[in-house]
């Protein structure tokens, strides 16, 4: 068998995954309606309605669970098609132990998805609890954060212990830092941070999914440059499925990712940064996610230290919404900013 062009395979996988998800999307949305997996109103029935609820409760009734669809389709396609890659004439290349790398990818993608799904189900069908700033829905923040650290720690430990990764490369100054065992908490921090950053960013129709689409294109190029066939194939399948989902997620959204998708996708983005050794590029390519979670942290500090908010509403995209920007305008401008960051991040990854 003659050797095939890996680029042709990757592009073909993007299109195939896009087609499969496109066909499955409408029946899946109908299923979510039947199962009543839809967003609920979070505004209090009595008293003053918080600004956040005034801006977002009009989205109540929209199905939640797009992340489930993408995780299931990508996982099945990856498990089915990757073993066939070598029979298509593509030589499998990776710097890691193949089976271990595949396990880490599946573990992170699915485990964070299950955690997010649990949170979604409790949000939809569980009873709200009284919180500091209003009613709390879903898993308690402390429990969810703890479980994220457990899952992120397991993934990071496997990268360190089984794949032998323990260094961080700083471009521009061309410095390599050997973290040794400290790589485990560092890697867990990266995974958990991006899981939460993505979750926080996923607040407007098409915002987080569109930003991720550009990020995956960038990391697909980086993974191909690193000759990492498993990661390239996974990213291609994930990208195609995400593009099909985005068709139904742009304003006005017919389906939301939910925490099942937000936590899984953010964690996977962090994991890809670790596996490709492109942590600095990850911070740049995922710059909008970093800015969003930083704005939330600043808002919390404002309440605790100054006893007043710094922004009209947090995270940052909610502030733009609060001052009167239209939702599609916020999303489109964020996508443009992301495109610039992707180009900058790719440049950093190649020097």
> Within a domain: residue 1?
no
In a domain, residue 320? The reply is: yes
Low-confidence ranges of the chain (pLDDT < 70): 1-4, 42-57, 128-138
pLDDT at 99: 95
pTM exceeding 0.75: yes
| pLDDT value, residue 1 | 40
Query: How many angstroms separate the CA atoms of 290 and 272, rounded?
Result: 16
- The answer to whether position 311 is within a domain reads yes
38: in domain: yes
User: Which residue range forms the structural domain that includes residue 85?
Assistant: 6-350
The residue among 266, 268, 163, 278 whose CA lies nearest residue 222 is 278
- The pLDDT, as a whole number, for residue 45 is 56
Phi-psi region of 47 (alpha: psi -120 to 50; beta: other; left: phi over 0): left
**Measured distance CA(347)–CA(351) in Å, rounded:** 7
Q: What is the C-alpha to C-alpha distance for residues 338 and 150, in angstroms, rounded to an integer?
A: 30
Q: What is the pLDDT of residue 74?
A: 98
Q: Quick one: DSSP state of residue 166?
A: -
Q: Residue 133 corresponds to which tokens in the numbers above?
A: 């700033």
What single-letter DSSP state applies at residue 133? Answer: S
| 8 A C-beta contact, residue 211 and residue 338 | yes
Residue 143 lies in a domain: yes
Is residue 152 assigned to a domain?
A: yes
pLDDT of residue 168: 93
Beta carbons within 10 angstroms of residue 266's beta carbon: 30
Domain count, the chain: 1
Q: Tell me, what's the pLDDT at 138?
A: 65
């Amino acid at each position: 068998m003659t050797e095939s062009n890996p680029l042709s395979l990757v592009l073909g996988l993007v299109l195939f995954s896009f087609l499969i998800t496109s066909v499955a999307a409408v029946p899946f949305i109908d299923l979510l309606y039947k199962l009543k997996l839809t967003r609920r109103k979070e505004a209090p029935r009595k008293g003053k309605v918080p600004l956040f609820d005034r801006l977002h409760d009009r989205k109540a009734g929209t199905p939640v669970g797009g992340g489930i669809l993408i995780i299931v389709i990508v996982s099945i396609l990856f498990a089915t098609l990757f073993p066939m890659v070598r029979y298509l004439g593509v030589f499998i290349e990776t710097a890691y132990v193949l089976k271990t790398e595949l396990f880490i990818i599946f573990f992170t993608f699915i485990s964070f998805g299950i955690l997010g799904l649990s949170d979604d189900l409790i949000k939809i069908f569980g009873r709200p609890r009284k919180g500091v700033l209003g009613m709390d829905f879903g898993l308690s923040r402390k429990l969810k954060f703890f479980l994220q650290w457990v899952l992120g720690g397991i993934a990071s430990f496997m990268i360190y212990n089984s794949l032998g990764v323990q260094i961080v490369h700083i471009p521009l100054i061309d410095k390599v830092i050997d973290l040794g065992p400290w790589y485990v908490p560092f890697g867990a921090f990266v995974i958990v941070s991006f899981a939460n950053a993505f979750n926080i960013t996923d607040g407007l129709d098409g915002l987080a999914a569109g930003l991720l689409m550009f990020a995956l294109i960038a990391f697909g190029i980086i993974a191909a440059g690193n000759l990492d066939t498993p990661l390239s194939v996974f990213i291609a399948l994930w990208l195609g499925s995400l593009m099909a989902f985005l068709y139904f997620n742009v304003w006005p959204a017919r389906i939301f990712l939910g925490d099942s998708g937000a936590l899984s996708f953010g964690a996977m983005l962090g994991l890809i940064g670790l596996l490709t050794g492109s942590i600095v590029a990850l911070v740049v390519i995922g710059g909008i996610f970093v800015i969003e979670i930083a704005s939330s942290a600043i808002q919390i500090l404002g309440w605790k230290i100054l006893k007043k908010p710094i922004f009209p509403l947090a995270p940052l995209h909610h502030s733009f919404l609060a001052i009167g920007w239209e939702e599609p305008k916020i999303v489109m401008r964020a996508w443009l900013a992301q495109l610039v960051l992707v180009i900058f991040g790719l440049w950093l990854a190649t020097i």
